[in-house]
Structure formats: C-alpha cells, structure tokens
Amino acid sequence: MSVVETVVYPGSFDPVTEGHMDIVARARRIFPKVVVLVAYNASKTGFFTFEQRVALIRESVEERGWDNVSVESHPGLVVDYLKACGHRLLLRGLRAGGDFEHEFSISLMNRRLWPEADTVYLPTREDVMGISSSLVREVARLGGELDEFVPAPVARALRSHFERTTHG
Ligand code: ADP
C-alpha cells in the first residue's frame, strides 16, 4: 500500500484567485500536505513577479490558518521540481469547457518527461467557476469590486498597483 503524503498544485497564479483557493481548501482536506507551486509558463507574460505571487499566496494561506499548505516557486519544469523534492503527484483544477483538452495534454507531457509523475483533478465549485486571473486583472484595471474574486491581500495589491498607475 502506498500513501500519498504531499500533492503539488502548480500554476501561474498571476494572481491567486478564489477559484485557486477553493481547490487548495478542498485538497488540504484530502491530502496531508499541499504545496502550491508558482511555476513558469512560457505562453503567459507576467503581471506580478514570481516573488510577489509567492508572497500573496503565502499571506492568503496564512490569513486562513491553513497550516498544512506551503508555497514555493520553481523557474523550470514542474517534473524537475517533483524529482528534486521526492514528490510524484500533481493537482490541477478543472473548469467546465476549455480546461480539459489543455490539462490532458499537460499531464501526458509530464508523464513522458518523468513516468513517475501523475496528476489528479478537482472540479471547480460552481460559484467560482467564472473566475480567472486574467479576468480579475481586467476588473482591477477598470476599478471594479474585487473582494468576491480574490483573497484580501491580492485585492489590496491590485488596488494599489492600479492607483499608482492611474495617479502617476
Ligand atoms: P496555468 O497558467 O498553469 O494554467 P493558472 O494559475 O491559470 O495556471 O491555473 C492553475 C490551475 O488552477 C489550473 O489547473 C487551472 O485550471 C486551475 N484554475 C484556475 N481558475 C480556476 C477556478 N476558478 N476554479 C477551478 N480551478 C481553477
């Protein structure tokens, strides 16, 4: 029998949203430990830096008192992080519609890169399904209310970023 100790949840998290936080909240009740991994995504240009994204997730996790969740970053391949840390299981969230094909090919590629790697998925909760990092950035840019979509530290960071951009 094998017991999974740690699941690694990789993503861009630019920034972390209540959609991501819901996946983490549910995963931490299934697995003893969850590592949220801010990973490099070549097809996305960054808004927040790696360090800012890590800090915002850490603050959000601490604020909720989630003591079995840690936050790390890795600039290279996610499977290289797994190998280096002795973990094998990845976690991803699935929203209805577009995510499936994309997620499926990522998991196949990861397994080709390292056959020990496997991925589990949690389906999104209905009320956070429409939330994505890119939409949140757009709402913030236009001065919309953010509190429902992102944890408080993220809302504060977005507001202060766009206040600075607008007022000089
Ligand atoms: P990536 O650039 O690697 O796709 P994201 O930060 O956009 O990283 O997303 C990380 C993971 O979280 C992905 O598996 C994505 O499908 C999932 N995810 C994003 N938003 C939601 C949401 N609202 N509900 C559930 N899962 C989500």
- What pTM, to 2 d.p., does this model score? 0.94
Nearest ligand 1 atom to the CA of 103 is 14
Angle, vertex CA 38, rays to CA 108 and CA 83, nearest 5: 55
Tokens of residue 40, six digits: 């490099």
Average pLDDT over residues 119-139: 95
Candidate of 12, 13, 18, 23 to mutate for ligand 1, largest count of ligand atoms within 8 Å of Cβ? 23
Give the whole-number percent of the chain exceeding pLDDT 90.
86
Q: How many CB atoms lie within 10 A of CB 122?
A: 16
Nearest ligand 1 atom to the CA of 125 is 24
CB 154 within 8 A of CB 15: yes
**pLDDT tens profile 90-125:** 999 998 777 889 999 999 999 999 999 999 999 999
